[in-house]
Amino acid sequence: MTNNIEIKDLIDKIRGTTPSSELQKEVEAVIKADEESTKIKAAAEKKKLDNIKAAEKKLKKDAIKEEADKKKKKKAGEEEEEKSEEDSEGEEEEADNEAIIKKLTEDMGKMAEEIKALKKRKNYRTPPPKGKKVEEVDDFIKQNITKDFEMVV
């Protein structure tokens, strides 16, 4: 076996090529370098991801604080408005009541019409009222009677 390896090395030298063991060492070195660079990149990306997560948490906390502050301000503003509204509330209540009454009466009228329409629809299967008996045939019908038409009395 050692002869085979030596012979291969001699053939490689004669041809001017590098022995396969040297090529294998170079390939292994490249693979190791790639592994190290990927580890370094992964560590850098992990740090970036951690920074992004920390920033996201901070932004969420800030947003929650801002919402709480806004709610407090709204409550304070509403309390002030309620105080000022209490003074003018008597006048506004009368105007509001009149508007509400007017709207309700309009709605009641519309509902009455709808109820009538529904009653008509409900009774659509009832037999039609009896028609008036006609003694003379209409002039239009008299004119349009042909020879083929038989009049049934």
In a domain, 60, yes or no: yes
In a domain, 131, yes or no: no
Count of structural domains within the chain: 1
In a domain, 83, yes or no: yes
DSSP, res 132:
P
Q: In the prediction, which pLDDT does 121 show?
A: 72
In a domain, 150, yes or no: no
In a domain, 53, yes or no: yes
For residue 14, name the pLDDT band (cuts at 50, 70, 90). confident
Residue 76 · residue 83 · CB < 8 Å = no
Mean pLDDT of 33-48: 91
Instruction: Find the domain containing 53 and state its range.
Output: 2-121
What is the pTM (predicted TM-score) of this model? 0.34
pLDDT digits (tens, 9 = 90+) for 49-59: 999 999 999 99
- Could you write out the DSSP letters of every residue in 17-69? PPPHHHHHHHHHHHHHHHHHHHHHHHHHHHHHHHHHHHHHHHHHHHHHHHHHH
Residue 46 · residue 39 · CB < 8 Å = no
In a domain, 130, yes or no: no
In a domain, 70, yes or no: yes
Answer yes or no: is pLDDT of 150 > 80: no
In a domain, 6, yes or no: yes
Q: In the prediction, which pLDDT does 8 show?
A: 82
Give the integer Cα–Cα distance in Å for 3 and 15: 18
User: Can you read off the two tokens belonging to residue 34?
Assistant: 């790639």
